[in-house]
Amino acid sequence: MAKRYNIGIVGTGAVGSEMLRVLRQRNFPCSEIRFMARSARREEIAGENVEVVETTSAAFEGLDFAFFAGTEGEKGASQLFGWEAVKRGVTVIDNGDDFRMDPRVPLVIPEINPEALENHQGLIANPNCSTIIALMAVGPLHRAAGLRRMVAATYQAVSGSGAAAVRELEQQLESYGSDSAPPPSVYPYPILLNLLPQIGGPKPELPGYTTEEAKMLFETRKILGNDAIRVSATCVRVAVFNGHAEVLNLELEKPLSADEARAILAKAPGVRVVDDLAAGQYPMPRDASGTDTCLVGRIREDASVDNGLSLFVCGDNIRKGAALNAVQIAETLIARQ
């Protein structure tokens, strides 16, 4: 019989719930799925009534894989328990940002840099959702022509801020046009009919940039294995429930026509080209939401820079941008055994 694995999921929010769905949908060979959180309880997660145990070092005993979930991981959980779990023989896959730039920790998108998993030390990091969605398209083009520079503008859904942000947008929609709109609490300003060009706080090492924007720079360099790549990102929160969109302007080492780029992306795993401007076909968050693939379109040559390409990418930030990518990392590790 094929080996089956004991799985732990730390965090019961949107990403933890989606991890359970993904594990079930992909028929991951689980013998146990153990949920952990700050307190023990019974809870309905992804339609299943499950027992949640308190997160302690001992709670990781007997597990093969532990996924640290949450929108950005249960903040601090992987710092407290990540390496403790590794000491107990558990392979940790962390959706948070605590260890992404740690030189001991691979930062992995399985379709882009699976080789980074070689000789891992037991803890592997999931990249930020915006980085994953961008590099699903950029990675294949980088392999073909080399990426020098990327200018990114993101349009990020409120689900990236968690369930409370989704409820806040719902409340603003329900009360629109009335005097009963509650004051915003998750965001500093109303998100309905608005754009908020700040995600995260200031990044001291990059004056004028936010922490979310800095992730796109440093994570892109680490994943693609080139510290010379230049990235300038502007990350914007938009009134969309789920699914991030990104405008990417690329400067490549070698020329690559739009047709060549389409052909490369049409063969790229996890990518679907939706690119017929005349027919009104292009990526949209509502089409990417709930799917495993990243949609790429509006592919065109950019004459404003040598070897320039522009494209528009959409992906499900909770699924491929978090839960699915983590499960795929585990699947890749199992396949390599």
- Residues acting as catalytic residues: 129, 244
Q: Which amino acid is at 287?
A: D
Q: Which amino acid is at 233?
A: A
Judged on CB neighbours under 10 Å (0-12, 13-18, 19+), 195 is exposed
Paired residues of 314 in beta bridges: 245, 295
Query: How far apart (Å, rounded) are the C-alpha atoms in residues 97 and 77?
Result: 11
Query: How far apart (Å, rounded) are the C-alpha atoms in residues 92 and 77?
Result: 12
The secondary structure of the chain in percent helix, strand, coil, rounded to multiples of 5, reads 35, 30, 40
Distances (CA, A) of 32 to 40, 168, 330: 17, 35, 15
Closest alpha carbon to 330 in 98, 19, 97: 19
User: Distance between the two ends of the chain, CA-based, in angstroms?
Assistant: 15
Residue spans of alpha helices (H) in 120-224:
129-145, 163-174, 211-224
